[in-house]
């Protein structure tokens, strides 16, 4: 019996709080080698499911250490941007500094352009994802 035993059933049959608990279990075991390959695959399926939810607690739990270590770049970037939309502080994102890349900055720059065109403020977290000052804005496109 492992720490994530039955996690898929617990997630699918659980309410939001129980789903968050399953995601937190995954986060706890992201680096300790306790997850077998099939558990990791199942965990990624649950993380992707949670990233489609509109409850910020679920999205936030899905962007913890497990996603930081195992989630592919495309889905991970969308997870970061989703938290920006939900106004959840990005401090919740595991390995943000290591994993942020030119494509994430490009997505952030496009969103900042939309916000500015709409006369809406650019939140600090979004600003923090923009390409470094001095870098050409076209870089990474």
Partner 1 sequence: MRIFDPHIHMSSRTTDDYEAMYAAGVRALVEPSFWLGQPRTSVGSFVDYFDALTGWERFRASQFGIRHHCAVALNPKEANDARCREVLAELPRFLRRESVVAIGETGYDSMTAEEDEVLEAHLALGVEHRLPVIVHTPHRDKKYGTRRTLEVIAESGIEPGLVVLDHLNEVTIEMVKESGAWMGFSIYPDTKMDPHRMVALLQRYGTERVLVNSAADWGRSDPLLTAKTGAAMLDAGFDAADVDRVLWQNPVEFFAQSGRLDLTPLPGFALANAPETFSGNSVRRGGADATVPAVPEAAR
DSSP per position, the chain: --TTTTHHHHHHHS-HHHHHHHHHHHHHTSSSS---HHHHHHHHHHHHHHHT-S-HHHHHHHTSHHHHHHS-HHHHHHHHHHHHHTT--GGGSTTHHHH--HHHHHHHHHHHHHHHHTT----HHHHHHSPPTTS-TTTT-
Answer for which of 110, 121, 128, 135 binds partner 1 (CB under 8 A) is 110
Told to check if 114 binds partner 1 by CB under 8 A, we report yes
Closer to partner 1 by CB, 49 or 94: give it. Answer: 49
Told to check if 91 binds partner 1 by CB under 8 A, we report no
Closer to partner 1 by CB, 5 or 13: give it. Answer: 13
Closer to partner 1 by CB, 35 or 51: give it. Answer: 51
Told to check if 107 binds partner 1 by CB under 8 A, we report yes
Told to check if 52 binds partner 1 by CB under 8 A, we report yes
Give Cα 103 distance to the centre of its chain. 15
Told to check if 54 binds partner 1 by CB under 8 A, we report yes
Give the interface segment with partner 1, choosing from 33-41, 45-53, 89-97, 130-138 (CB under 8 A): 45-53
Cβ(97)–Cβ(58) below 8 Å: no
Residues found near partner 1 in the complex (CB under 8 A): 12, 48-49, 51-54, 74-75, 78, 81-82, 85, 107, 110-111, 113-114, 117-119
């Amino acid at each position: 019996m492992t720490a994530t035993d039955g996690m898929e059933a617990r997630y699918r049959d659980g309410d939001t709080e129980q789903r968050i608990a399953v995601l937190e279990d995954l986060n706890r075991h992201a680096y300790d080698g306790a997850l077998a390959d099939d558990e990791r695959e199942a965990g990624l399926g649950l993380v992707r499911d949670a990233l489609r939810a509109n409850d910020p607690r679920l999205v936030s739990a899905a962007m913890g250490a497990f996603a930081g270590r195992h989630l592919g770049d495309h889905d991970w970037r969308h997870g970061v941007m989703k938290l920006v939309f939900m106004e959840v502080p990005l401090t919740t994102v595991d390995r943000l500094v290591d994993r942020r890349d030119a494509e994430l900055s490009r997505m952030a720059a496009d969103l900042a352009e939309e916000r500015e065109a709409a006369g809406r403020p650019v939140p600090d977290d979004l600003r923090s994802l923009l390409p470094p000052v001095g870098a050409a804005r076209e870089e990474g496109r």
